[in-house]
Chains A and B, each alone.
Chain A
Amino acid sequence: MNIFRFAGDMTHLISIVVLLLKIYATKSCSGISLKTQELYVIVFLARYLDLFTDFISVYNTVMKLVFIGSSLAIVWCMRMHRAVKRTYDKELDTFRHYFLVLGSFVLALLLHEKFTFQEIFWAFSIYLEAVAILPQLVMLQRSGNVDNLTGQYVFFLGAYRAFYILNWIYRFFTEPHFSRWIACLSGLVQTAFYADFFYYYFISWKNNAKLQLPA
């Protein structure tokens, strides 16, 4: 594992901690898209079907369990916790995420490395992760005002994707048989979605102002 991959995993972890912190500390999930969070649950469950069949490392196994567990905990809080669910901005979170699930699954049936149960679900999870942030980004755009922790959450998620791209570039030059076009192309698409957000994030950071997205 190289430093970029590790930095990517850590920023991913930090993003989840920031989100949990926001929900637990403020007992509020305002500005957070439940649809994006539900998509992440599906992403992790579909991708980590290999938890019991392929062992890579203790690190990988622990991280997989953490990602599955934390994403389930977040959705549980937003749906079941009495105080938290009252703060959910349902009317701003109207993205039709079922189409993303359906589209990703059809794409996985067409484009995959091997026509096996696990490989189809792996490709599905990669495609779905690429678009899973869209309901959240649309929600941020709609509300315009982004609170601090929500902004940090999306920032760390984007940083995670950027580090993964550096990781692939590094692996491409250091490993003799590195080719994984499904993950890399989807990763590029996914990172591109963050470009707009990053632009406004850095402007607000530079001006030391509150993050605001144009309507």
Chain B
Amino acid sequence: QSEAQAHDEL
């Protein structure tokens, strides 16, 4: 899981 995807929620 890449870093950017860690905050994929709003």
Contacts and interface: CB of A to CB of B under 8 A. Distances in A.
Question: In this complex, which of B4, B6, B8, B9 has the most chain A Cβ atoms within 10 angstroms of its Cβ?
Answer: B9
A56 B4 contact: yes
Contacts of B7: 50, 54, 56, 122
Interface residues of B, number: 9
A67 B8 CA distance: 15
Interface of A: 5, 9, 12, 50, 54-56, 60, 63-64, 67, 113, 122, 164, 167, 177, 180, 183
Chain B contact surface mostly: loop
A9 B6 contact: no
B1 A164 contact: no
Interface of B: 1, 3-10
20 contacts: A9-B10, A12-B10, A50-B4, A50-B7, A54-B3, A54-B4, A54-B7, A56-B4, A56-B5, A56-B7, A56-B8, A60-B8, A63-B10, A64-B10, A67-B10, A122-B7, A164-B9, A167-B9, A180-B6, A183-B9
Contacts of A12: 10
Nearest to A54: B4
B10 A60 contact: yes
